[in-house]
Chain A
Amino acid sequence: QVQLQESGPGLVKPSQTLSLTCTVSGGAISSGSYYWSWIRQPAGKGLEWIGRFYSSGSTNYSPSLKSRVTISVDTSKNQFSLKLSSVTAADTAVYYCARGSGWSWFDPWGQGTLVTVSS
């Protein structure tokens, strides 16, 4: 079965770029028609969709984050990545990666990784 695991720095300074990687195991990221998404959750708050990469090569980003977000895929490493530029304390959250079979269909999820933005 497919499993996802996030990795990356747990601490990022304000104004810098947050970079996370999601490693997919148990299946090729290039196989099937799937969406590969990033979702985040500030402590004690709800879920916020960041964006996704579709197997066709297209991407969709949340309009509120679009100017700062890039999601890319490295099929050779079976990974996909998130870059969020010009971060502020408001970007502090647990970041999840997930595979999707439909617009709002996220399954499975990674375990999540906490990213704190602080100097």
Chain B
Amino acid sequence: QSVLTQPPSASGTPGQRVTISCSGSSSNIGGNYVYWYQQVPGTAPRLLIYRNNQRPSGVPDHFSGSKSGTSASLAISGLRSDDEADYYCAVWDDSLSVVVFGGGTKLTVL
């Protein structure tokens, strides 16, 4: 059971907006930057969002991140079929002295 809680699954139709949540505590999300990773099955994870809401170059602008208190969210607007993947949040935990990952959310594009 992960320190960070994500819904195991999410879904949407093409063009829709989908939000994936990541819930933590004051020792992790509450005091540190949140990162989001996308993993297409069979491939390595890819950095999607850094420092809560920043997109690396090359990441489409229909991905956005936000953080409030001890929770963070990844929003995907204008859903596309190639957005179908697993999504993980990650953050440093000050109490555990470890990088913690959420359990992952499998996004299905219907």
Contacts and interface: CB of A to CB of B under 8 A. Distances in A.
A107 B102 contact: no
Nearest to A103: B92
B7 to A, nearest CB: 13
Interface in A54-73: 60, 62-64
A104 B45 contact: no
Nearest to A100: B99
Interface of A: 37, 46-49, 60, 62-64, 96, 101-112
B20 interface: no
A43 to B, nearest CB: 11
Contacts of A110: 44
18 contacts: A46-B88, A46-B101, A49-B98, A49-B99, A63-B96, A63-B98, A64-B98, A102-B50, A103-B33, A103-B91, A104-B32, A104-B34, A104-B99, A106-B45, A106-B47, A107-B47, A109-B44, A111-B43
A45 B71 CA distance: 22
Given A49-B101, A63-B96, A104 B44 contact: no
Contacts of A96: 44-45
B1 to A, nearest CB: 11
A62 B35 CA distance: 18
B99 A103 contact: yes
Contacts of A63: 96-98
B35 to A, nearest CB: 5
B50 A46 contact: no
Given A46-B2, A46-B88, A111 B44 contact: yes
B101 A103 contact: no
